[in-house]
Structure 1
Amino acid sequence: MNTMHNLRIERNPLGRLKVQTPDGAVHEPVTAVRAFPIQTPAANISLVGPSGHEVAWIADLAGLPPEQRALLEQELHQREFMPLIQRLVAVSSFATPSTWTVDTDRGRCQFVLKGEEDLRRLNPTTLLVHDSHGVQFMIRDPLSLDKASRKLLDRFL
């Protein structure tokens, strides 16, 4: 496993990430994976080769040259899909399963919450909501939601 010193990260002609490690070895395609995507999204990034083994470790994205950092941030954003719930518009029922209509950072959507166990507290200020299709939604801080949203959410907590 190599650390980020002297890594060269770029895209191959097919648009996939490739990395050249300090020993001169080129690995492609590689997949960027966050070790702790919620707690430390800009740190602890693993570059995994096609065999599924880690080929490089990036302790902190801030330590990379700007063009390589931008490339990895773009790749991670495309790979991860976790909309942030900004407002609860409506809940069909206070018993599960229930259909939720929410406004997210990616627009309005509707999903089914199968059971109360699909609403998880990650830490005192962060909630993770799993819909019936396995999509994860995040509520960064329930107290920052508007009063009507907090009232709906409180029924499930």
Structure 2
Amino acid sequence: MYELRPEVPDDHWEVEALYDTCFAPGRTALSSYRLREGRDPVTGLSLVARDESGILGGAIRYWSVSVGGAAALLLGPVAVHPTRQGEGLGALLIASSLERAAPLGWTRVMLVGDAPYYGRYGFTRLDGVEMPPPTNPDRVLGRALLPGAWDRVRGAVHPG
């Protein structure tokens, strides 16, 4: 059993250590990190999952971005500690955080990731949305939280 709660400043370094454990040391060199540098994650959507002993099992963060002038959320990173993988914790973090987004006023979410994995959460390829290079356009995915939210949204992604 996990308790999901919004990430707070006291969680920051523990979450960073989890990301370091789960991803390659060069994770901050990825193009999506240029959209995150020097900014705080979105309050209320960036979540941590702790077990009954308070041990961090997983985390997910969101960032505000602008796509061609339209506000959007950038999902990521999402990570589950290697000892907790296979328990459905990643799915819980993604589904729970997406459920919270629309009530907070967000209409669209994007990410850079694998279509087969994120497709089960309603993400599809975004044509015409340009992440900073080098990003494979086939990995730029989006999900409308309200019908039509991605219609006619095109252009470069910038910090929001």
Q: TM-score interval w.r.t. the shorter chain?
A: under 0.3
Instruction: Give the alignment's TM-score, normalised by structure 2.
Output: 0.27
More helix by percentage: 2
More strand by percentage: 1
Query: Higher RCO, 1 or 2 (CA under 8 Å, sep at least 6)?
Result: 2
